[in-house]
Amino acid sequence: MRNILLQIKFFVVAFLNVTYNFVPNPPRKFYLRLYGIKLGGASSIHRNCRFFHIGKLEVGKDSTINFGCYLDNRRGIKIGDNVGIAHNTKIYTLGHNIDSPYFETKGAPVVIENDVFVFANV
């Protein structure tokens, strides 16, 4: 049963990543809310961004995530107010423990404080 639910989640995330690019800007914030993603006032996530999970992403007010970013929100991403994230930036919250012989997953939430600018291709 757990495997079936996991596959359903993968389909929902894939559907979000495909359909998000076709939603015009004014209703895009409401569309993301359907998937548990919270955007503050005057904040936006541009097209061609890729999400790795539904929910677990919170963006403060007056913040922008630009074109082509990867948002690995599997462990949670919290972005503050007045934050700019430039194009093609990748934010990962989950990886593998390279010191383990079993290479198990290891991760933690990412918090980006207020008034931060993350440059392109970081």
C-alpha 21 chain-centroid distance: 14
Distances (CA, A) of 109 to 37, 83, 85: 15, 17, 17
**80 - beta bridge partners?**
none
Average pLDDT over residues 58-71: 98
Amino acid at position 98, single letter: I
Are 73 and 51 in contact by the 8 Å Cβ rule? The answer is: yes
**Which CATH code is given to the segment(s) 2-118?**
2.160.10.10
Is it the case that residue 25 has pLDDT exceeding 90?
A: no
Token duo for residue 13: 């995330």
Average pLDDT over residues 2-28: 93
pLDDT digit string (tens) for 112-122? 999 999 999 99
Are 96 and 103 in contact by the 8 Å Cβ rule? The answer is: yes
pTM above 0.75, yes or no: yes
For the chain, the domains span 2-118
Is it the case that residue 67 has pLDDT exceeding 90?
A: yes
Is it the case that residue 40 has pLDDT exceeding 90?
A: yes
Q: What is the pLDDT of residue 94?
A: 96
Q: What is the pLDDT of residue 38?
A: 97
Is it the case that residue 110 has pLDDT exceeding 90?
A: yes
Token pair 């198990």: residue? 104
